[in-house]
Amino acid sequence: MALPALARMLITDVRFAGVRGTVMDANPGMAEKVAGRIVDEGLKFVAACATNPGACLAPSRIVDEGWHALILHTAMYAELCEQLGGRFVHHYPGYDPTHYDPPILDRTREAIAALGWEADPELWGPPSDETLVSVAAKCQHAPRVHDSAHAAAGATRSLMAGGAHERVDRPAVRGTGGRVGALAAPSGA
């Protein structure tokens, strides 16, 4: 699959504006340009995850805000994951700041670079009070363990250091109206 020259081209202008608005709604006073950069980096992150199962990737805290906003647009997010390889990239938040794994951001930036994009260095820093912008997302992704309930359900999980994402290797299912949806992880996962 060929990716566009700019990650923001993975979704339409209307959808991009909607997701950018979601970031701005969660972060009152944030400039539109900064919110757009955060969404762009969220798109790069999802593409890196979708195309690199098992690569142990996680977003920075700022980029996580863009990922959260993408996920809130559920139908668009499911279509994006389908477009990027057909597997849904799941999010499992963690909140323990002691679980920060510095090499995880390096791996993620390298995966983004391998797709032909540059990670925005101002948005991909470690957790800090000295960042370009403060965001509502307070996730600090921590390692997850293999969930035997998932295995029993027939899903193959790609463990992602940082617990940031998981790809469920099951085909997407068609719902009403012919829209594509992805099988979700069982509750409690």
pTM of the model: 0.72
Distance CA 88, CA 181 (A): 9
Q: What is the pLDDT of residues 77-131, one digit of tens each?
A: 999 999 999 888 988 777 666 666 778 889 999 999 999 999 999 999 876 655 5
Question: Which three-class secondary structure string do you get for the chain?
Answer: CCCCCCHHHHCCHHHHHHHHHHHHHHCCCCCHHHHHHHHHHHHHHHHHHHHCCCCCCCCCHHHHHHHHHHHHCHHHHHHHHHHCCCCCEEECCCECHHHCCHHHHHHHHHHHHHCCCCCCCCCCCCCCCCCCCCCCCCCECCCCCCCHHHHHCCCCECCCCCCCEEEECCCCEECHHHCEECCCCCCCC
pLDDT in tens, 45-65: 999 999 998 888 889 889 999
Structure tokens at 182: 């992805």
Average pLDDT of the residues in 132-160: 41
